[in-house]
A and B are shown apart, each in its own frame.
Chain A
Amino acid sequence: MNNFSFPFTRRRFLQGSGAAAVALTFSGRGVSAQEKKLNVYNWDTYIGETTLSSFTDNTGVQVQYDLYANLEEMFAKFQAGNPGYDVIFPSDYMIETMINADMLVELDRSKIPNFKNIDPNFLNPSFDPGCKYNVPYMWGSCGIGYRKSKVGEVDSWKILLDDDKHSGRMALLADQRFVIGVTLLYLGYSANTTNPDEIDAARDLLIKAKKHLKGFVPDSGQDMLISGDVDVVMEWNGDVLKVMEEDDDLTYTIPKEGTVIWVDGLCIPKGAPNMENAYKFLNHLADAQVNAEVANTVHYATTNKAAREHVAKADLDNPAIYAPDDVLKRSQALADVGDALPLYDAAWTEIQAA
């Protein structure tokens, strides 16, 4: 390999697998630590209604809350450097990717006393063993939303992946890792396999299944479900839940083969200009009351054990939000597959073009 130094950068180079990586790390902008400011980067409406104001009341720190619309685009931006954000909310595999790319700060647990509130079940995730880089936040799953009167009971991914009974009345998500991931699970493989043969097997099954699908839809499967365009969709639990509130005939299930779950965590990216305030914010969100208010607003399952006392009973009892323990055991979170990612991309391209 013929490497040469990047002509525009005066930054240091990371040594990675014998090759000089271009590390466009942000060198900090010399913002004084005393400033009472915090830049949070998150999804829209992914906090409670009073989360920010109560934080400002308690600490005097003003929060600038900015939004991303896609984790991968957030990552792409951080690949160039940290534009000045202090706290971000990546998911499982993205946390692992960002750790591997040396983008996250190893957390000083002594500054987050409320970390003790986190459910021990979430303290040793595969993507960040020991939670050294993240404070677990909310979690959810990707399952099957369906219309009971049209399809009866559903307990397997077979209905979407290997069955033509509802041909033309089904849709899958437009997310390559999640779709190929559940297909791998259905075939009995790991959702994070790096074995090309297993990925090819999943690809072939999806190409066959495609004939019976209406589309690969980005986050709008629940709308198709309630409008009657489809009867079965693969969707996030929170999205299906919203339409279940308006239509009794709709329901959500996690198939017996298990599924791909997601766990979001709070992280501090390297180069964060207001590090101390970031720790205060992480601690604030791990507080039982504050965290419960978030859970009661967004209706996702919290990883905060102490907060569950304050979470609405209807949510706690809802299996579409807090899945039974055995479901968790059968399921997997996505991992950083590193050099195997182009295999997933190639498979996805072939599925789309077939």
Chain B
Amino acid sequence: MESWRKNKLAFSVLVLPPTAWLVIFFTVPLLIMWVYSFAERGPQGQIYLAVNFANYARAIEWIHLGIIWKSVWVAAISTAITFAVGFPLAMGIAFAPTRWKNLLLLLVILPFWTNLLIRTYAWIAVLRTRGFLNFGLEWLHDEFSAFFALIGLPDVMGEFQALELLYNQKAVVIGLVYVYLPFLVLPIYATLEKLNKSYLEASLDLGAGHWRTLFSVTMPLAMPGVVSGCLLAFILSMGTFLTPALLGGTDSEMIGNLIARQFSSSRDWPFGSALSFLLLYLTFIILWVRASMASRKRGPI
């Protein structure tokens, strides 16, 4: 890292255009919402500007904190599974022959170019009680039963029981893993891609096993990508609302649904803004704690 003073021209050319865009077309609009978070709701959802903290007081009521906590859990579990599924995939693409890399990347992202709603409906068709997955399992079950009957063991398999895969938290997690997989895979891929394959070969040649190579060579080098990817998947899962609404059961409401409702059927922009900013403050506290812990580990510079 160099100080911006050493190279003022390069610094301003790089930083100013994107920053200007973000400030004008994001930060300023967001300030309006911040002002709204202190406002009062009118009878039809009008916004009466005021300075009151009632919206924040309501936002930190137990019931809302409970919903936030539940969302954190669901997001954490789905991020962990997304990582378990996504890391090997990212590694596979990064270490594939050069000419296949871009094709594989495209194949990973292609399913996400069909509309989210259509994809989610497709998942419903797969997971429902009489969906493709249960049909497949039932077929397997019948084949095995027939096989056991043939070798003189009828009834070992019993009656086929369809799996209840939809309208519960499991379905929400599956849906979230599916929706946010590329947001985890792509940053990890971008970091791993530069890893020289020869490092790994050297490690293997030196007698380190595959697992040891993975944990002591690949993982540490991939860390920046892993952190970014997991954070993206986690934050995006936290704010989701379509997946729990369509795949979830009667207790799957997440904080994203609650916030979305304030801007639609409950017509309470001030409360919706307060909830959004509460989420924002919490995220920054977490990131700040993480940063200060990381710097303490490194010691004073």
A–B contact via C-beta, under 8 angstroms: yes
Chain A interface (Cβ < 8 Å from any Cβ of B): 1-8, 14, 16-17, 19-23, 70, 72-73, 75-76, 79, 97-98, 100-101, 174-177, 210, 213-218, 220, 223-224, 227-229, 336, 338-339, 341-342, 344-345, 348-350, 352-354
Inter-chain contact B264/A70, CB cutoff 8 Å: yes
Inter-chain contact A101/B253, CB cutoff 8 Å: no
User: Which of the residues B129, B245, B252, B265 comes within 8 Å of A228, measured between beta carbons?
Assistant: B129
Taken together as a complex, chains A and B put the C-alpha atoms of A311 and B102 apart, in Å, by 56
- Minimal beta-carbon separation of A3 from chain B (angstroms): 6
Closest to A73 in B: B264
Please name all residues of chain A whose beta carbon is closer than 8 Å to the beta carbon of B43 when the two chains form the complex: 17, 100, 336, 338-339
A-B contact pairs, 8 of them (CB 8 A): A6-B35, A17-B43, A73-B264, A76-B269, A215-B250, A220-B246, A341-B267, A353-B253
18 extra A-B contacts, CB within 8 A, seeds A22-B49, A214-B249, A336-B43: A1-B48, A2-B50, A6-B49, A7-B35, A16-B42, A19-B48, A73-B263, A76-B267, A97-B44, A97-B45, A176-B266, A218-B245, A218-B246, A220-B124, A338-B44, A341-B45, A349-B63, A352-B251
- Chain B 27-58, CB-CB to A under 8 Å as 1, else 0, gives 00000100100001111111111111000000
Which residues from 142 to 201 on chain B have a C-beta closer than 8 Å to any C-beta of chain A? 166-167
Please name all residues of chain A whose beta carbon is closer than 8 Å to the beta carbon of B124 when the two chains form the complex: 220, 223
Please name all residues of chain B whose beta carbon is closer than 8 Å to the beta carbon of A228 when the two chains form the complex: 129-130
B261 contacts the other chain (CB 8 A): yes
Please name all residues of chain A whose beta carbon is closer than 8 Å to the beta carbon of B268 when the two chains form the complex: 341-342, 345
Inter-chain contact A353/B44, CB cutoff 8 Å: no
Please name all residues of chain B whose beta carbon is closer than 8 Å to the beta carbon of A215 when the two chains form the complex: 167, 248-250, 252
B209 contacts the other chain (CB 8 A): no
Taken together as a complex, chains A and B put the C-alpha atoms of A14 and B42 apart, in Å, by 12
Known A8-B32, A216-B250, A352-B253: A76·B263 in contact at CB below 8 Å: yes
Known A210-B250, A215-B167, A345-B262: A227·B130 in contact at CB below 8 Å: yes
Known A177-B265, A339-B43: A353·B66 in contact at CB below 8 Å: yes
Please name all residues of chain B whose beta carbon is closer than 8 Å to the beta carbon of A6 when the two chains form the complex: 35, 49
Inter-chain contact B250/A175, CB cutoff 8 Å: no
B89 contacts the other chain (CB 8 A): no
Taken together as a complex, chains A and B put the C-alpha atoms of A239 and B49 apart, in Å, by 41
B67 contacts the other chain (CB 8 A): yes
Taken together as a complex, chains A and B put the C-alpha atoms of A260 and B129 apart, in Å, by 31
Inter-chain contact B50/A72, CB cutoff 8 Å: no
Please name all residues of chain B whose beta carbon is closer than 8 Å to the beta carbon of A73 when the two chains form the complex: 263-264
Taken together as a complex, chains A and B put the C-alpha atoms of A16 and B64 apart, in Å, by 30
Inter-chain contact A22/B46, CB cutoff 8 Å: yes
- Minimal beta-carbon separation of B246 from chain A (angstroms): 7
Please name all residues of chain A whose beta carbon is closer than 8 Å to the beta carbon of B45 when the two chains form the complex: 75-76, 79, 97, 101, 341
Interface size class of B (residues with CB under 8 A): 35 or more
Known A21-B47, A353-B251: A227·B267 in contact at CB below 8 Å: no
- Minimal beta-carbon separation of B36 from chain A (angstroms): 9
Please name all residues of chain A whose beta carbon is closer than 8 Å to the beta carbon of B250 when the two chains form the complex: 210, 213-216, 352
Inter-chain contact B44/A72, CB cutoff 8 Å: no
B258 contacts the other chain (CB 8 A): yes
Please name all residues of chain B whose beta carbon is closer than 8 Å to the beta carbon of A210 when the two chains form the complex: 250-251
Please name all residues of chain A whose beta carbon is closer than 8 Å to the beta carbon of B41 when the two chains form the complex: 342
Inter-chain contact B128/A227, CB cutoff 8 Å: yes
- Minimal beta-carbon separation of B27 from chain A (angstroms): 14
Inter-chain contact A175/B265, CB cutoff 8 Å: yes
User: Which of the residues B48, B67, B167, B249 comes within 8 Å of A21, measured between beta carbons?
Assistant: B48
Known A73-B264, A175-B265, A341-B267: A4·B253 in contact at CB below 8 Å: no
Taken together as a complex, chains A and B put the C-alpha atoms of A7 and B36 apart, in Å, by 12
Known A210-B250, A215-B248: A341·B63 in contact at CB below 8 Å: no
User: Which of the residues A214, A218, A229, A350 comes within 8 Å of B63, measured between beta carbons?
Assistant: A350
Please name all residues of chain A whose beta carbon is closer than 8 Å to the beta carbon of B46 when the two chains form the complex: 14, 16, 21-23, 79, 101
Please name all residues of chain B whose beta carbon is closer than 8 Å to the beta carbon of A345 when the two chains form the complex: 261-262, 265-266, 268
Inter-chain contact B166/A229, CB cutoff 8 Å: yes
Taken together as a complex, chains A and B put the C-alpha atoms of A210 and B41 apart, in Å, by 30
- Minimal beta-carbon separation of B266 from chain A (angstroms): 4
Taken together as a complex, chains A and B put the C-alpha atoms of A16 and B46 apart, in Å, by 10
- Minimal beta-carbon separation of A97 from chain B (angstroms): 5
Taken together as a complex, chains A and B put the C-alpha atoms of A6 and B52 apart, in Å, by 15
Inter-chain contact B264/A72, CB cutoff 8 Å: yes
Inter-chain contact A72/B49, CB cutoff 8 Å: no
Inter-chain contact B67/A3, CB cutoff 8 Å: no
- Minimal beta-carbon separation of A80 from chain B (angstroms): 10
- Minimal beta-carbon separation of A157 from chain B (angstroms): 17
Inter-chain contact B67/A353, CB cutoff 8 Å: yes
